[in-house]
Amino acid sequence: MFFFTTNTVPNMSHYLFDGMDSYDTPASNRCSLAFHLWLHSRWYFYQSNFLTFILSGITASHGKLDKDAQIAYSSRNIRLIERCGGHIHIRGLNHLRDLGGKPVVIVGNHMSLLETAVLHAIIREHVDFSFVVKKSLLDVPFFRHILLSFHAIPVSRTNAREDLRTVLAEGKKMLETGRSMIVFPQSTRTSSFDPSQFNTIGIKLAKSAGVPVLPMALKTDFLSTGKYLRDLGPLHPERSVRFEFGPPMEIGGNSHETHQKTIDFIQECFDRWAREEHGAK
């Protein structure tokens, strides 16, 4: 009989992208034999991802989901994507490294659950961070302990004014402790980037706390939204997973300008990715 213990942290606590400014899954990467045996079913991905999720939750419940464990579990998801035939492309890691651990507000678009599964593998070596989550997620088994270990800030998503006050107040406290904040200004996950749905909450938080904004563009539609089960959608290994980080921006007197520069950075990334992928076909 298999028992879960706090010794289930995988032996992979080293940072996958040590010394790198960018990363590309090797072109020779192929699906694993196990994925082939599962007939390329999405359920191979989800059962592996769910096991990592459970182990993370158990580790967090014992107060042991520290930096090394966060990186290790998240790295399992990076390798899982590649075992399922996915290709990952990361740019701008130097901008994270150059922060020297100083807190920032990372503002990015939100596409799928995949980003939260892999972000610790990508940025935790350089940036200790927290993020804003729906309050209802604290009721999910295992997830509650994970979110509490990250000091996530819960909001209702039903009262925008109250949520804004919560994010500004609690986020500022978090930044003052030296921990960065990741903010997804869109109200929900979307498969494309719509600037009109990109609010200024991240910019307001950074200005209030007196810290820079670091833009993040991501494309994670490798994992799509399900038709009947929203969080269990099909996989698309033909779609590259992409993360790109821009240089940090100090907010001067005109916060609107910083907001627009963040939008422009994300839009430019999406336009360039579309050209690259179109040219590869």
Q: What is the mean pLDDT of the chain?
A: 91
State CA 244 to chain mean position distance. 11
Quote the pLDDT of residue 169: 96
Read off the pLDDT of each residue in 45-53 and give the average, rounded to a whole number. 96
Domain parsing of the chain, residue ranges: 30-280
**Residue 19 CB partners (closer than 8 Å, separation 6+):** none
* pLDDT band with cut points at 50, 70 and 90 for residue 253: confident
**Residue 115 CB partners (closer than 8 Å, separation 6+):** 108, 218, 220, 243
**Residue 155 CB partners (closer than 8 Å, separation 6+):** 132, 133, 134, 135, 162, 163, 166, 167
Annotation: CATH topology of 30-280 = Glycerol-3-phosphate (1)-acyltransferase (3.40.1130)
* pLDDT band with cut points at 50, 70 and 90 for residue 187: low
- In one-letter notation, the amino acid at residue 203 is I
Per-residue b/e over 67-94, b at no fewer than 16 CB within 10 Å?
Answer: eebbbbbbbbbbbbbbbbbbbbbbbbbe
Strand partners, 105: 181, 213
**Angle, helix 114-123 to helix 67-83, in steps of 10 degrees:** 120
**Angle, helix 67-83 to helix 42-61, in steps of 10 degrees:** 170
Quote the pLDDT of residue 186: 81
Q: Which of 29, 130, 129, 12 is nearest to 77 (CA)?
A: 12
DSSP secondary structure, 201-252, as one string:
HHHHHHHHHT--EEEEEEE-TTBPPPSSSTTSPPB-TTSPEEEEEPPPB---
Contact 134, 187 (CB under 8 A): no
Residues 98-153 have pLDDT tens digits of 999 999 999 999 998 899 899 999 999 999 999 988 898 899 989 999 999 999 99
- The pair phi, psi for residue 94, each rounded to 5°, is -65, -30
**Residue 250 CB partners (closer than 8 Å, separation 6+):** 212
Contact 134, 154 (CB under 8 A): yes
Contact 181, 205 (CB under 8 A): yes
Residues 168-183 have pLDDT tens digits of 999 999 999 999 999 9
Q: DSSP letter at 188?
A: S
DSSP secondary structure, 249-261, as one string:
B---S-HHHHHHH
Q: Indicate whether 2 pLDDT > 50.
A: no
Strand partners, 155: 134
Q: Could you give the 3-state DSSP secondary structure of residue 262?
A: helix
Q: How many residues does the chain have?
A: 281
Q: Are strands 180-183 and 105-108 parallel, antiparallel or unpaired?
A: parallel
